[in-house]
Structure 1
Amino acid sequence: MSSPSSTHFDPDMFRVAVEEGDTGSLVQLFAEDAEFEMIDRRTPPSQPTVVRGRSAIGDLMRQIHSREMTHEVLQCVIEGDHAAYTERCVYPDGNKVLSMAMLDLADGRIVHQSTVQAWDEEPSAAPVSEDFSEPARVDESPMGRIEFAHIGGRDVVRMVLQPGWRWSEHVKPNQGTDLCMMHHSGYLASGTMGCRMADGTEAEFGAGEVIDLPPGHDGWVVGEETAVFIDWRMCE
């Protein structure tokens, strides 16, 4: 694994790391206390996803590059202590994601990155299916597992959450927000879940219910049964 120059950001190293999925080299381009900010369909400018620290950014990079897609850096421009680049990602079904990012640099490393993303919305041209027994991507976290199926130009996820799981305890430390800012719409296949909104409103949901949960909430598993939630909006 190579390291960036002590004084200059290396755009060629950056491009190769992104396109080859070399997350080890990519993470080394970030400062130890770097901040990564993401704006997209589910995290608007007023409530972006913010990840702090090289270790947490590394986890995010490994999640991104574990997805079945190609990455291409279209352009990278550097001026002084700032850089900008555009990246195109393509899923196997042809759907594309375009991202644009601004980087603040110091001593050859990224100290802050702001990224804005946009997705294709077109569905596949032919009938397709996916199977959660062989998910396209899996995110593991303490007491939780999220399985992704990419279909129709979007991700559908199955969340498997163990008894005792709570968003504010097991997810919040890596999110950079006080509450979950994702909009969930889906079907609770098993278990019981509770939530509390920012204004203090609480609700509880049982197996068989179809749920719409706006951004700005904490959530947890109620009781001793594993909760399984099928979510078709979380990744929008």
Structure 2
Amino acid sequence: MGWWLKWFVIGSLVAWFGYYRHQISQLSRTHTAGLSRIATSLANNTDSYQFFNRSEQMNNSYFECENIVYAHGICGNLQVPPMQRPCTPPLHIHLEQTEFFTLIQGHLAYQLGNKVYSCDIHTCPQPLIVPPLLSHTFWMHDNKEDLIVRVHAEPADKYNGLSQRFFENFAGINRDQHISIWQIFVLFENAQTYPASLPLPFMKIIVKLGALIGQLLGYKIEYEEYTTIEDNFN
């Protein structure tokens, strides 16, 4: 390959990256920063996150919110396999955080490792404790009423791991339909959260490389339209 062709290829790649980054920067985003309840769809028929006591959580190094999965939408459609519903997280692990799930309302199904369970408010562990590195997910098991689950994670800070900023941006990106595999890599790497579809060492490499490419393409960990600053904590 001649030197001119090499420079042409390099120049074309730089120009393409620049164009792609510009396109990402011009995406329209709904402004939800500061809201205490944020939906993951404009039609408000999937699920939402309720935030509270943000200052107390930040001062005490934990994160907590309520995830409300709506019975009347696709996430409550029991004819759709659970892992194909948009509200069901992929089977995943957290590197360092312990999660505590408390069922407030509805009928919960959840997977820990290779085992699947279901329970209601009378039979669920209170709370259900998921230690670091244990693969897990959950979904609505019965659609007679909305599913409400309180999610608590610790330790937590505003820079990485599961946090209010992660869920604000995850909900916003889904609501505005700006989701892409590169954006997911960027969010998940910062949240220290990895899909459990492959052994962890391989998945960490994939997610880290994907996050690097995603950031080069202009995807961010957080966007000002979605992210509540500390001065506005409730």
| TM-score after normalising by structure 2 | 0.38
Higher RCO (CA < 8 A, seq sep 6+): 2
| TM-score after normalising by structure 1 | 0.38
Question: Which structure carries more strand by proportion?
Answer: 1
Question: Which structure carries more helix by proportion?
Answer: 2
